[in-house]
Chains A and B, each alone.
Chain A
Amino acid sequence: MQEVGAFVIFFASIFTSNILLTNFLGMCSYLSVSREIRTAWGLGIAVVFVMTITSVANYFVYYYMLVPLQLEYLEYIAFIIVIAALVQVVEMIIERTSDRLYASLGIFLPLITVNCAVLGAALFLIIRKYDFYQSLAYGAGSGIGWMLAIMALAGIRAKMARRSKVIPALEGPGIVLIVTGIIALGFIGFSGIVQIN
């Protein structure tokens, strides 16, 4: 995979290999925070931010610490610690610099720590043996792809809340999973453009 350009990986991770719609990672916050477009946007931005930073950080931790020490088997623990710590720092930076963004992200920021898409992205870039620029592109692209998916779902849910008569048994997560499946099918349409993984 290493011969694929970083730019291609960036676009592929948004559209054809969307981390949410093809790998179904990060579902918990995707299901629970997709009622309104505004909050989905806030969480989406935070995920883009965190995913980009943690992908790069985890790249360095893996190749400059775990590999030399032959501790690859500890990658899960190392990545989780790095993600948790960086989310804290990101939270503090946002609190200091932008009250507005901090207030709109609210509880979502700490929630990202346990977003499996963030860990998933870090693990994928190791499995796929990406180099630094590819990792950066993959992290940012996956974040944007995740945001795109949750925004699309939030838009549909907002509209459904006004117009649709969902049968009671499917209300809530049920219908959301069906909608997600259909969005995922729609994204298959992109697969002719680029392919990674």
Chain B
Amino acid sequence: MVSIDYFIPALSMASLATSLAVIILLAEHFLMDYGEVELQVNDKTFKVKGGSTVLGTLKQEKIFLPSACGGRATCAYCKVKAVTGFGDILPTEAPLLTKEEVSQNIRLACQIKVKNNCAVTIPEELFSIKEFTARLDSVEYLTYDIKHFKFKLLSPSEIDFKAGQYVQFQSPPYGEVSESVYRAYSMSGRADARDVIELMVRLVPEGICTTYMFNHLKVGHEVSLTGPYGDFFLRDTDRKMVCIAGGSGMAPIRSILSGMTTGDIEKRRPVFLFGARARRDLFLLSEWAEFEAKHPGFRFIPALSGQEPGDDWSGETGRITDVIAKYVPDGRDFEAYLCGSPGMLNACVDVLRNLGVNEERIFYDKFG
């Protein structure tokens, strides 16, 4: 017979662990349970379980706020107006809100939590954002690191968006990634093809979502998307147009240009400046050549900033910022549409401003 002493260490450690677990459970029960609370959104009232962020709670109620960073307080897309029931501004929000926004009680929905009855105001158009189930129909390489994905919408089966807007793609848990994340991608297809969503995605090294899309997502798989989001779309004016993009930033520009009528193109004479490093970073050249042939008013100008040996290039060279002036002789006549990395965009906005383009006529879609 084994002496009872033999079990004392194990028993005492187990009881220590158990009692601590009980303390945690009690704390959780008394501290974390907010019960059912009322969340008012504009003029609708929802009964929800308290304790989660406004962003997450609204998602449960099928209201989708834009969010590119997935709730990490970096993109600042999920701004809402807090009416009642929220405390002071949080340190995580402060860097992303302007003084004006703070004074109007604008908050980040991914940071503030629904803990008691509260009310927020969101732009009315966000109610029209839906969650879609879609099936991947085709995928092809555009360059060595950019892929073109075509999804067929299953339910709802049609999307109503303006060319230039974006959707949020949900990557489910896979491999060692245990959480599902949302990332924003601009739609690159025509807005009148309502049952199809096309995305151009550049592989981000170590990126959770792009790694999923490049290595795990296969034709026939079903995915979840929300949208449409964003205020990057064609403004209805008669001004001349300059579009500037780099890499997968071509997506919304392609959507915008391909949706314009022949008459509009002749009138607005768009020029599309596309910045790339080398020949191997260019894509869809034949499609743009066809588009040029069909619409004499349109020009597609790719520019290479770092040609590689054997590129055999006779087009524009240099950074895209060096090329702009040649095609925008007098900025006062122009409206600009930009999409690309923040660094490139900021540089382009500076150049356009110096060329006389009115800042209010520069529209851009920055990669988060």
Contacts and interface: CB of A to CB of B under 8 A. Distances in A.
Contact of A65 (B16, B27, B90, B113): B16
A146 B9 CA distance: 33
Contacts of A61: 16
A100 B16 contact: no
B8 A78 contact: no
A92 B28 contact: yes
Contacts of B93: 103
A81 interface: yes
| Interface residues on chain B, size class | 20 to 34
B15 to A, nearest CB: 9
Interface residues of A: mostly helix, strand, loop or mixed?
helix
Interface string A65-76: 110010100100
B31 A65 contact: no
A77 B13 contact: yes
Interface in A86-105: 88-89, 92-93, 95-96, 99-100, 103-104
A106 B12 CA distance: 33
A183 to B, nearest CB: 26
Contact of A74 (B13, B31, B90): B13
Given A81-B20, A85-B21, A89-B23, A103 B92 contact: yes
B111 interface: yes
Nearest to A77: B13
Instruction: Please indicate which of the listed interface residues A42, A96, A104 has the most CB atoms of chain B within 10 Å of its own CB.
Output: A96
B16 A96 contact: no
A82 interface: yes
B90 A78 contact: no
B17 A92 contact: no
B24 interface: yes
Contacts of A66: 12
A82 B16 CA distance: 8
Interface residues of A, number: 24
A127 B43 CA distance: 64
A78 B15 CA distance: 11
B287 interface: no
B219 interface: no
A99 B16 contact: no
B32 interface: yes
B32 A96 contact: yes
A159 interface: no
Given A74-B9, A81-B16, A100 B90 contact: yes
Contacts of A82: 16, 20
Interface string A151-169: 0000000000000000000
Contacts of A104: 90-92
A38 B95 CA distance: 13
Nearest to B28: A92
Given A96-B31, A99-B113, A38 B91 contact: yes
Instruction: Please indicate which of the listed interface residues B9, B21, B32, B112 has the most CB atoms of chain A within 10 Å of its own CB.
Output: B9
B100 interface: no
Contacts of B23: 85, 89
B88 interface: yes
Nearest to B24: A88
Contact of A71 (B8, B17, B31, B88): B8
Given A95-B31, A99-B113, A85 B9 contact: no
Interface string A31-49: 0000000100010000000
B87 interface: yes
Contacts of A89: 23-24, 27
Interface string A90-128: 001101100110011010000000000000000000000
Contacts of A74: 9, 12-13
Nearest to A104: B91
A77 B23 CA distance: 18
B111 A100 contact: no
Contacts of A99: 87-88, 90, 112-113
Interface in B81-140: 87-88, 90-93, 111-113
A38 B92 CA distance: 11
Contacts of A106: 92
> Which 9 A-B pairs rank lowest in CB-CB distance, beginning with the nearest?
A85-B20, A103-B90, A104-B91, A96-B31, A103-B92, A92-B31, A89-B27, A92-B27, A88-B24
16 contacts: A61-B16, A65-B12, A69-B12, A74-B12, A74-B13, A81-B17, A88-B27, A89-B27, A92-B28, A99-B87, A99-B88, A99-B112, A99-B113, A100-B87, A100-B88, A100-B91
Given A81-B20, A95-B32, 5 more contacts: A61-B16, A69-B8, A88-B24, A92-B28, A92-B31
